[in-house]
A and B are shown apart, each in its own frame.
Chain A
Amino acid sequence: MSDGVGGIWGLPIALVGGALRVSAPYLFVSLGECLTEKSGRINLGQEGTLIMGAMSGYGVSYLSGSPWLGVLAAGCVGVVLGAAHAWLCSLPRVNDVAVGIALMLFGTGLAFFLGKPLIQPKAPRLSSFELGAWSSSAPVRAALEINGLFLVGVAAAFAMRFVFQRTRWGLVVRIVGEDADAARALGYDVNRVRFAATAVGGFFAGVGGSFLSLYYPGSWSEGLSSGQGLMAVALVIFARWDPVRCLLASLLFGGAGAIGPALQSIGILGGYNLYATAPYVLTFVIMIATSSARRTLAGQPAELTVAR
C-alpha cells in the first residue's frame, strides 16, 4: 500500500482516525449527562459547560504550562456550573429544561467574555500515544494517535457502568431517578443526590471541553464547539442511559462528524457544509426512529421530564 492519500484505504483510515479524535468530547459530555439523567434531571446547559471547560482548560494550561492541570481546572469549572444548575432546579417551580437553555447562553457568553485574551496565545497541548508506530504509512500513523484523555474516558465509561450496576451509590442514583417518592420514603435526600449527580456530570462535560481546546482541534476560539454538548443529550437517549453504550454511540457520532474532514483529506471539497451536518442528521433520524408516542423507552429513568 502506498502513502498516497488517494488510496482505496484513505477514506476509512481517515474516518477511523477522525472518529477516535472527534468522539472524545461526545464521550465525556454524554457520560456526564448520563449520570445526571439517571438521577432524573436533564441538563441542557452541558453545551455551556463544554465551552467554559474548553476556555478555562486552555487558559490554565497556558498560564501553568501543564495541560493536565488545565483538564482538572476545566472539570472544576464544570462542577461549579453543574452545581448552579442543580441548585436552580431544586427551587420550587423552576423548570430544568429552561434552566439548561439559560445556562447554555450564560456559559457561552461568559466563556467568550473571559476567553478574549486567549485567542492569540498558544497553550501547551495534551500529548498522545503513537499506537500506529508499527506502520510505515503516514495516514495510518496519524489515525492511530490516541490521546490519553480519550483512554481515561473509555475507562470511565466502564467504571460508571460498574458503579450503576454494582455499588450502593449507583443504586441510590437509580432509585432517585426512577421514583423520587420511593427514594424519599427510604430516607434519601432527593435534591442532594441530584445535586451530586449534576455536579459530577458537569465535571465530565468540563473535561470534554478541555479535550476540544487542548487536543483536537487544539486551540481556543469562539467557534470551537458546534453543539456537541447538545448532541450528547440526544446521544444519551440513543444509548438508553447505559455508559458503555454511550461510548459506542460517541464513536458512531464521532465517525459522522469526521465524514467532512475525511472527504476533504482525500480531495473531495464540495458540499462541506452539508457533510458537517451529518452528526445532527444522524441524531435527528435516531431520535425519530427510537421515539414512540405510546411507550416510554427501555431503560429510561421514570422521573426524567425529557420524554414525559
Chain B
Amino acid sequence: MPLGGIAVSFAIFGGFVGLAGANVLDVYYQMYRGAFGSWFSFQNTLVRAAPLTLTALCTALPAQLGLVIIGGEGALVLGALGAVVAAHAVDGGNPWVGLFAMAAAGCAVGGALVALEGALRTLRGVNETISSLLLNYIAIGVFKHLVEGPMRDPASLNKPSTRPIGEAYALGTIPGMDVHWGLVYGVIACVAAYVLMRRTAFGFAAKVIGGNARAAQLSGLAVHRVVIVTCGLAGAAAGLAGMVEVAAVHGTANASIIVGYGYTGVLVAFLARQHPLGILPVAVLIGGIGASGGLLQRTEHLPDAAVNVLQGILFVVILASETLRGRFGAQVARVPRSPPRPAPAAPTQKAA
C-alpha cells in the first residue's frame, strides 16, 4: 500500500478543508471516529468495503493484461438485476438454492458484460476504457428502465423497486458481527484472484500478454481466450457485488444500488497497484473514508462531496507518486510489474 502517497493526500485534503473554513484536526478526528473509532463504525466500514473488494477486482484483473477497464458500475447494476430475476425464478425454494442461483446469475450477467468489453478489445481493437464507460451508462439506463417499468413492483410507490427477493433469500451476517457474508465473498475472491494470477499457468499467460501481446501471440498463447476469460472473471466479481448489495443490504433492486461502488472500485484497484491482495486493506481504508462522510456532514457541516474530493486527491497523488517509485530504497522496487501504460491486447500492424 502506498502509505506515503496516502499521507500526502490527507495533508492536501487537510489544507483544502482548512481553506473551506473547517478545523483541520477536528476533521481528521471525526473521520477516524466515523471510520474506525468504534466497533459499530468499524463494522459500517466493513459493510462498505465488501462490495469494493469485488468491484476493485473488475479493474485489477484486466490490469494484469495491461487493460484499463472501468466497467464495474455497469456489471454491478446488471448483476443486481440478474440476482433479482434469479431469486424470483426460484421463489419459495431452499435458501441455499436461492442464494446460489442469485450469485450465479449476478456473476453470469456481470461477467458477460465485461467479457464483451474484453472481446471487443482483443478481436476488434475497440478501446476498452471508453467502451466500458459507455456500457456503464447503457447498463444504468437499462436498469432504470426495467426497475421503473416492466419489473416495477406496484407496491413501491415513492421509490420504484422490483418485487423484494423475500426474507428467506436474504444474505445473513457473519456470526458475532453485523457485517454480512459479502465481505467473506470479497476476501475469497481476492485470494482466488491472487492464486490465479500469480500461481497458475493461466496467470503467467496473462502476465506475458500484459507485457507484450504480440510476443505472447507469436509464442502460441491463446491471447483472445485469456483476455476474454479474464475480463469475464472480472465482470463476474462486480456482478457478485451487485448480488451482495441486493441480497444483504437492499432486499430488492432500486436506484439505491447505484451509488458509485463501481467507480470507487477503480480507485481501490489503482491504490492497491492492481495487486489482488492489496485490494483488501485499501478497500477497508476507502470504505472507512466513505463511512465517515455522514459524520463529517453532521459535525463539520462539510458537504457530502468532501469524501469525493478526498478520493480524487488520493487518486491523483497515487498516480503521480508512480513516478517516484523505486527511487527511495529497495523495498518498493520488488517485482517488475506490468507497465502502467495499457499495452495492446490486439496487435496492430504499426511499423513500430
Contacts and interface: CB of A to CB of B under 8 A. Distances in A.
Given A103-B316, A296-B348, A109 B145 contact: no
Interface string A64-104: 00000000000000000000100010011111011101110
B350 A296 contact: yes
A33 B12 CA distance: 29
Given A95-B341, A97-B342, A271 B149 contact: yes
A293 B124 contact: yes
Contact of B127 (A92, A105, A287): A287
A302 B349 CA distance: 12
B342 A294 contact: no
B315 A106 contact: yes
A57 B312 CA distance: 21
Interface string A259-289: 0000000000011111011001101100110
Contacts of B266: 101
Most buried by B among A93, A113, A308: A113
A108 B316 CA distance: 13
B169 interface: no
B41 interface: no
Interface stretch (A10-18, A130-138, A229-237, A246-254): A229-237
A230 B350 contact: no
Given A94-B322, A98-B68, A103-B316, A109 B350 contact: no
Contacts of B307: 109
Interface stretch (B43-51, B132-140, B276-284): B132-140
A274 B315 CA distance: 32
B312 A107 contact: yes
Nearest to B305: A112
A93 B263 contact: no
A79 B129 CA distance: 24
B138 A280 contact: yes
Contacts of B68: 95, 97-98, 101
Contacts of B126: 287-288, 291
A181 B319 CA distance: 25
Contacts of A159: none
A23 to B, nearest CB: 18
A307 interface: yes
Contacts of A91: 320, 322-323
Interface residues of A, number: 54
Given A97-B342, A106-B312, A308 B138 contact: no
B313 interface: yes
B145 A291 contact: no
Contacts of B313: 106
B135 A94 contact: no
B303 interface: yes
Contact of A94 (B127, B141, B323): B323
Contacts, number: 166
A306 B127 contact: yes
B315 A101 contact: yes
A295 interface: yes
B70 interface: yes
Interface in A292-307: 292-296, 302, 305-307
B245 to A, nearest CB: 20
Contacts of B254: none
A69 B41 CA distance: 46
A205 B305 CA distance: 22
B38 interface: no
A108 B315 CA distance: 13
Given A277-B137, A291-B125, A88 B319 contact: yes
B221 interface: no
A230 B133 CA distance: 8
Contacts of B349: 294-295
Interface string B97-123: 000000000000000000000001011
B312 A308 contact: no
Contacts of A271: 145, 149
A110 interface: yes
A290 to B, nearest CB: 9
B284 to A, nearest CB: 19
A244 interface: no
21 contacts: A91-B323, A94-B320, A94-B323, A94-B340, A98-B68, A98-B270, A101-B70, A101-B129, A101-B266, A105-B315, A110-B305, A227-B137, A270-B149, A271-B145, A277-B138, A287-B126, A288-B124, A291-B124, A292-B125, A305-B341, A306-B129
Interface of A: 44, 84, 88, 91-95, 97-99, 101-103, 105-110, 112-113, 116, 226-227, 230-231, 233-234, 237, 270-274, 276-277, 280-281, 283-284, 287-288, 291-296, 302, 305-308
Given A230-B134, A288-B120, 19 more contacts: A91-B323, A99-B316, A101-B70, A102-B318, A103-B316, A105-B308, A107-B312, A109-B311, A112-B303, A230-B133, A231-B134, A273-B144, A276-B141, A280-B137, A287-B127, A287-B134, A291-B124, A293-B123, A302-B352
The 5 nearest A-B residue pairs measured at CB: A106-B312, A109-B308, A112-B305, A277-B141, A102-B315
